Amino acid sequence: MINKATLDFLRDLERNNNRDWFHANKDRYETAKENVLQTVLYLTAEISKFDPAIKPFDPKKGLFRIARDTRFSKNKDPYKLNFGACINPEGKNISSLSTYYLHVQPNASFFSTGVYMPEKEELTEIRYAIYNNFEDFSSIITDPAFVKEFGSMVAEDKLTRVPNGFDKNDRSAEFLKYKNFYIYINLTDSVLTSDTKGPKAILHAAKLMIPFNNFLNNIFSH
């Protein structure tokens, strides 16, 4: 799993977010990056044992760059303060499919799955799938094991009104306001860096995420 040295590197990066420091500590970065890649490789192999949609792939293709794109941002810090890596059926970090995602950041790590910031057409398809198949969708997100583990979907950047074209009084109405469709568990530093607690927490969550993933991915499989 994630080494404490990887979190230490990210803590130091937060205090020294500049190119001179980063280049002087390039070896530490490469070691931390390799640690994350090996963790993703391990998790992919384990998840593929119970999720047939996941196949082995090069974890480098699922890893996001640590360099920030500052062109259109007021924040000109050159580096992100986290490692982010995806595991999905397409084996890459950008996918329209529901994606397992590992976020590594001191005191802010988490493991999630879902569809984040879908394109307009994909968002419409997801909403229609929920609208037309609400019994199936509702049975997934109200399952007691699901609720115990995740609570509910993250209501981030949610609309205040039901989108045009949908019955505002329909049972699915509240979920049609969502722009993102994902769930997650928090991972404390002590859990994330534990070779027993880390895998147990992540793989337990991943198993419970499968029906949610399947619902979303079946939308785009036709």
Rounded average pLDDT over 26-52: 97
Contact indicator for 40, 103 with CB cutoff of 8 Å: no
Angle, helix 134-141 to helix 197-219, in steps of 10 degrees: 170
- Under the banding of pLDDT at 50, 70 and 90, the label for residue 222 is low
| Residue 15, Cβ density class (10 Å: 0-12 exposed, 13-18 middle, ≥19 buried) | exposed
Residue 26 has pLDDT above 70, yes or no: yes
Task: Give percent of the chain above pLDDT 90.
Answer: 89
pLDDT at 159: 95
* pLDDT tens-place string over residues 67-104: 998 888 888 899 999 999 999 999 898 888 999 999 99
C-alpha 76/C-alpha 73 separation (Å) is 7
* DSSP letter for each residue of 140-162: HHT-HHHHHHH-S---TT--SSP
- Would you tell me the crossing angle of helices 197-219 and 120-132 to the nearest 10 degrees? 90
The verdict on pTM exceeding 0.85 is yes
pLDDT value of position 60:
95
Output the CA–CA distances (angstroms, integers) from residue 182 to 115, 132, 172, in the order listed.
Answer: 6, 19, 16
pLDDT band at 57, cuts 50/70/90? Answer: very high
Mean pLDDT, to the nearest integer, of 188-214? 97
Would you say 182 and 153 are in contact if contact means Cβ atoms under 8 Å apart?
Answer: yes
Rounded to the nearest 5 percent, the helix, strand and coil shares of the chain are 45, 10, 40
Crossing angle of helices 26-47 and 197-219, in 10° steps, is 70
Instruction: Return the pLDDT at 69.
Output: 87
Task: Tokens for 145, please give them.
Answer: 């094991």
Residue 27 has phi, psi (to 5 degrees) of -65, -40
Where does the pLDDT of residue 14 fall: very low under 50, low under 70, confident under 90, or very high at 90 and above?
very high
Say what the pLDDT of residue 124 is.
95
Residues 171-200: tens digit of each pLDDT: 999 999 999 999 999 999 999 999 999 999
Q: Looking at the predicted structure, is the pLDDT value of residue 221 above 80?
A: no
CA distance 178 to 157: 7
* Mean per-residue pLDDT, 58-67: 95
Q: What pLDDT, on the 0 to 100 scale, is given for residue 216?
A: 96
Structure tokens at 175: 């979920």
The pLDDT assigned to 55 comes to 93
**CATH assignment, 4-219:** 3.30.930
List C-alpha distances in Å: 176 to 30, 129, 140.
42, 10, 16
Name the token pair of 148.
């115990």
Question: Residue 174: what pLDDT?
Answer: 96
Average pLDDT of the residues in 126-146: 97
The confidence band for 145, taking pLDDT boundaries of 50, 70 and 90, is very high
CA distance 80 to 190: 22
CA–CA separation, 83 vs 60, rounded Å? 12
